[in-house]
């Protein structure tokens, strides 16, 4: 079954074709991140406008790259929640039009379920149940993936998402958007012990909190500058990255140990962070568990993950009609 996936929940306009949820036939992305960088973050209105301009072309490229036409496609899967609502609606309405015109089933996909499904494209043998940390710009969830379409959230951020914290710290350090890649690049030359940063206390065994950590970075930067000294950007980037990846890894491994999970997974844009990946490798070994990491190009937003999850949603009978609406928030 060949599924055309459409994803437009943030600043990337994405289309991809995946066969049977596992085989990647094409994966196209047009990103407005460079333009968003001018404003220090995602401006929703700009994201929506770029989606409208790009979506037809990106979908056509995904078909072309796969050597297919709409006639060869069996269904259209689309991210319908959660996300920037104006951005989500561009993809939803495009997918609705395409499904209606081509007379193909329309499959609604939850964005975070999509991030988890990126793992199926990288690891053909991986099957639920497994434990997964989904860390992106909008979410930080520790999820028990019971089946392809059944999820239990064990822990989450009580304030900022991990990616959001990276983005805000990047802005404080003048590193631009998106912040995650910029902070980890700056951290390469830094001393992670240079600036002591707190581990915020949080209610809930597997919950995380990053707002205090982000504020601690801002306060430290302000104090150093008030003393007329220069902040070392590499040292602060390294100190922040060390603390936030320690917190994420510790919580995921704590849950894995408690549950006796033997399959531990990472997904979402923050999943491309090498320090986090290395910490989880070590931790999984300690627990004699196997760690599954998504390919770097499938960590951030893409439509291949949407098409992959769409396959399993379809098998579970989850098909929408033309009344499908986008939603800004929705539990996984």
Is position 294 an interface residue for ligand KG4 (rule: CB under 6 A)? no
Closer to Zn ion by Cβ: residue 136 or 209:
136
Member of 122, 184, 239, 242 binding ligand KG4 (CB under 6 A): 184
Site string for ligand KG4, 135-164 (x = CB under 6 A): -xxx------------------------xx
317 vs 306: CA distance, rounded Å: 16
Is position 27 an interface residue for ligand KG4 (rule: CB under 6 A)? no
Q: How many residues belong to the site for ligand KG4 (CB under 6 A)? A: 20
| Of 268, 239, 240, the residue nearest 252 (C-alpha) | 268
Is position 29 an interface residue for ligand KG4 (rule: CB under 6 A)? no
For the chain, the farthest-separated pair of C-alpha atoms sits apart, in whole angstroms, at 67
Is position 91 an interface residue for ligand KG4 (rule: CB under 6 A)? no
Burial 24-61 (b: 16+ CB within 10 A, else e): bbbbbbbbbbeebeeeebbbeebbbbbbbebbeebbeb
The alpha-carbon radius of gyration of the chain (Å, integer) is 20
Angle, to 10 degrees, between the axis of helix 211-226 and the axis of helix 233-259?
Answer: 160
Name residue, tokens 């209610």.
203
Member of 7, 167, 301, 313 binding Zn ion (CB under 5 A): 301
Closer to ligand KG4 by Cβ: residue 88 or 253:
88
Going through the chain in order, the beta strands assigned E by DSSP cover 2-7, 12-19, 23-31, 75-81, 106-110, 130-135, 140-147, 150-156, 263-267, 290-292
Closer to ligand KG4 by Cβ: residue 262 or 297:
297
Is position 300 an interface residue for ligand KG4 (rule: CB under 6 A)? yes
Instruction: Report the nearest approach of Zn ion to the CB of residue 297 (Å).
Output: 14
Instruction: Report the nearest approach of Zn ion to the CB of residue 4 (Å).
Output: 19
C-alpha dist (Å) from residue 75 to 103, 122, 245, 249: 9, 22, 38, 37
Is position 99 an interface residue for Zn ion (rule: CB under 5 A)? no
Is position 167 an interface residue for ligand KG4 (rule: CB under 6 A)? yes
Is position 200 an interface residue for ligand KG4 (rule: CB under 6 A)? no
32 vs 43: CA distance, rounded Å: 10
Closer to ligand KG4 by Cβ: residue 184 or 242:
184
Is position 273 an interface residue for ligand KG4 (rule: CB under 6 A)? yes
Handedness of CA 21, 25, 31, 33 (dihedral sign): positive
208 vs 200: CA distance, rounded Å: 8
Is position 136 an interface residue for Zn ion (rule: CB under 5 A)? yes
Closer to Zn ion by Cβ: residue 11 or 301:
301
Is position 242 an interface residue for ligand KG4 (rule: CB under 6 A)? no
Side-chain-facing half-sphere of 264: CA atoms under 13 Å: 31
Tell me which residues touch ligand KG4 (CB under 6 A): 10, 136-138, 163-164, 166-167, 178-181, 184, 268-270, 272-273, 300-301
């Amino acid at each position: 079954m060949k599924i055309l996936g459409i994803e437009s929940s943030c600043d990337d306009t994405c289309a991809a074709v995946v066969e049977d949820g596992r085989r990647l036939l094409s994966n196209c992305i047009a990103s407005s991140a460079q333009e968003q960088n001018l404003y220090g973050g995602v401006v929703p209105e700009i994201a929506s406008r770029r989606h409208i301009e790009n979506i037809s072309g990106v979908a056509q490229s995904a078909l072309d790259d796969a050597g297919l036409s709409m006639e060869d496609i069996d269904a259209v899967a689309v991210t319908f929640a959660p996300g920037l609502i104006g951005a989500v609606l561009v993809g939803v309405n495009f997918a609705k039009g395409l499904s209606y015109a081509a007379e193909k089933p329309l499959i609604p996909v939850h964005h975070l379920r999509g991030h988890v499904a990126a793992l199926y494209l990288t690891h053909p043998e991986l099957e639920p149940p497994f434990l997964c940390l989904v860390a992106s710009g909008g979410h930080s969830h520790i999820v028990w993936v019971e089946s392809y379409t059944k999820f239990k959230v064990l822990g989450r951020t009580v304030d900022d998402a991990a990616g959001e914290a990276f983005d805000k710290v990047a802005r404080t350090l003048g590193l631009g958007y998106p912040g995650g890649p910029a902070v980890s690049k700056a951290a390469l030359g830094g001393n992670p012990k240079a600036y002591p940063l707190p581990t915020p206390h949080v209610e809930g065994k597997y919950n995380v909190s990053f707002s205090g950590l982000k504020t601690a970075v801002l306060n430290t930067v302000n104090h150093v500058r008030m003393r007329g000294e220069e902040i070392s950007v590499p040292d602060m980037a390294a100190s922040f990255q060390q603390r936030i990846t320690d917190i994420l890894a510790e919580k995921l491994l704590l849950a894995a140990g408690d549950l006796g999970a033997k399959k531990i997974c990472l997904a979402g844009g923050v999943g491309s962070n090498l320090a986090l990946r290395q910490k989880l490798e070590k931790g999984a070994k300690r627990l004699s568990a196997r760690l599954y990491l998504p390919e770097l190009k499938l960590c951030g937003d893409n439509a291949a993950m949407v098409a992959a999850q769409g396959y399993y949603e379809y098998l579970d009978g989850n098909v929408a009609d033309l009344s499908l609406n986008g939603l800004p928030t929705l539990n996984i």
